[in-house]
Amino acid sequence: MNANYKMFVGGNWVEADGGKRFDSDNPFTGRSWASIPHGTTADVDAAVAAAKSALTTGDWPAMSASQRGALLRKLGDLIVEEADRLAEIETRDNGKLLNETSLQIRYTAQFYYYYGGMADKIEGAVIPVEKPNIHNYTRLEPIGVVAVITPWNSPLLIAAGKIGAALAAGCTVVVKPSEFTSASTLALAELFERAGFPKGVLNVISGFGHEIGDYFVGHPDVGCVAFTGGTSTGQRINEVAAKTFKKTVLELGGKSPNIIFEDADLDNAILGAVSGIFAASGQSCVAGSRLLVQRSIHDQVVERLVDFAKSIKLGDPMAPDTHMGPIATRPQYERVLSYFDIARSDGAECVVGGTPLDGDGQFVQPTIYTGVKNDMRIAQEEIFGPLLSIIPFDDDDHALSIANDTLYGLASGVWTQNMQRAFRFSHALQAGQVWVNMYRAASYMTPLGGYKRSGLGSENGKDHVYDYLHKKAVWMNY
């Protein structure tokens, strides 16, 4: 029987206005496993009204910063307690390996501990303006109701930095998870209730972005939009938010270069290339989907990657020995498959994978293309699947020009033992993160943001709290 989820609005568990629901499908079984309220614009109104009211009335604005921090840390404890259950929900919803969701959910708690610790360290300043009898100081005040909108690939992890920082700042929040993976965020709301957050501080609504997204983003009582998702959706959100002069923080797509030089420790570089593209079946914003390989080692790198790709076991994401699960959603599965034809007509050579698998599951085999030119569609468009484009290069300048020749700028990797080169590339790569002799590392302490069309602003780290604060200057004549 399907699990029946409800939305959490103003501290109450509610059905959608009109009572409609939709199914959430398990990408491994292909069957519906959960029933989700089909939220409407009336539900957006109710959730934003609850969040607006909690901002100025009741216990939340009366709480000290330390008390807010303690609540966030309590929430972190509850997430650790419930990690297994939450991880299973996410694996059922998006097909990510249970091994990985279990780690991710536990890691999610760290964001709430971190921002809980920051709540009472948000300080204004006294400014020594050169005027007699004037006391000038700044106050940092919550920006208001924060709309948090998340994608399907890591729902709770991606929401955590935004919610944690916004609540540390004293804001209130309305979250809308992806329509493909609403269940874990609706389940998270229970933990906010158990932790003792005042009603209306955290609200979760479910529904379809194309139906309620514009209304939510444009809502006059929303003060800031914190979004992770596709670049075209981010662009749309920015257009709508601009009409009401709302602040946005946008974490978007990528087409990241992972560069292997001939002096690299090749064993590590191969592992980095494999995890860069095949982890989470390639459904990762930072996927190293363009592998730039120095020509002198090109053939041996290709050979080793092909062997590795052939050893990857596809299967049930709940099983501990599965290496790669299914593609999370049907539309995404069909989109990924469409790139097999695109690559063929672009003239790339497929050295492993590249054909649909028999059977019903939404599985895509690890696929590697050689002979890729950087202007081919497979090298320029975010595929969000396990398709790797290998592009040879001759020297440092050549590698750098290929790496930066993209509309995106989210992540990048460099594999070399040459320190001068490591620094040169770290500074010259136009990307929000550069990994040297490693790939895919991330931390709640470190900013995550994109250059170019990969985003606007950054999240995580101390500075993210200031995205959710107004800075007010007070002048006092005494």
Is 251 a catalytic site residue?
Answer: yes
What is the CB neighbour count within 10 angstroms for residue 335?
14
Nearer to ligand NAD, 205 or 273 (CB): 205
| 256: nearest Cα among 388, 373, 412 | 412
Nearest-approach distance from CB 431 to ligand NAD, in angstroms? 11
| 403: nearest Cα among 431, 436, 367 | 431
Give the helix/strand (H/E) hosting 237.
helix 231-243
Nearest-approach distance from CB 137 to ligand NAD, in angstroms? 36
Q: Sheet of 387-393: strands edge to edge?
A: 349-352, 367-370, 387-393, 290-294, 257-260, 411-415, 433-436
Percentages helix, strand, coil for the chain (3-state, rounded to 5) are 45, 20, 35
- Rounded CA-CA distance 92/317 in Å is 8
- Rounded CA-CA distance 162/225 in Å is 10
Nearer to ligand NAD, 172 or 332 (CB): 332
Are 31 and 8 in contact by the 8 Å Cβ rule? The answer is no
Are 170 and 140 in contact by the 8 Å Cβ rule? The answer is no
Residue owning tokens 């050579």: 349
Beta strand residue intervals within 124-241, DSSP E: 126-127, 134-142, 145-149, 172-176, 202-204, 222-228
Report strand pairing: 172-176 vs 411-415. Answer: unpaired
Nearest-approach distance from CB 381 to ligand NAD, in angstroms? 11
What does 412-436 look like in DSSP terms, one character per residue?
EEEE-S-HHHHHHHHHHS-SSEEEE
Nearer to ligand NAD, 100 or 265 (CB): 100
CB-based contacts of 188: which residues, under 8 Å, 6+ apart? 79, 86, 156, 159, 204
Are 116 and 181 in contact by the 8 Å Cβ rule? The answer is no
Residue owning tokens 């002979």: 371
Nearer to ligand NAD, 172 or 178 (CB): 178
CB-based contacts of 120: which residues, under 8 Å, 6+ apart? 64, 65, 66, 68, 69
Nearer to ligand NAD, 177 or 361 (CB): 177
| 252: nearest Cα among 143, 181, 330, 153 | 153
- Rounded CA-CA distance 406/211 in Å is 31
Nearer to ligand NAD, 224 or 410 (CB): 410
Nearest-approach distance from CB 478 to ligand NAD, in angstroms? 47
Nearer to ligand NAD, 149 or 301 (CB): 149
- Catalytic residue (choose from 82, 90, 251, 382): 251
Residues at the contact surface with ligand NAD, assessed by CB under 6 A: 149-153, 158, 176-179, 209-210, 213-214, 217, 228-230, 233, 236-237, 251-254, 285, 382, 384, 410, 448, 450, 455
Nearer to ligand NAD, 76 or 385 (CB): 385
What does 258-301 look like in DSSP terms, one character per residue?
EEE-TTS-HHHHHHHHHHHHHGGGG--TT---EEEEEGGGHHHH
Nearest-approach distance from CB 451 to ligand NAD, in angstroms? 11
Nearer to ligand NAD, 7 or 399 (CB): 7
Q: What is the DSSP letter of 212?
A: H
Q: Which residues are catalytic?
A: 251
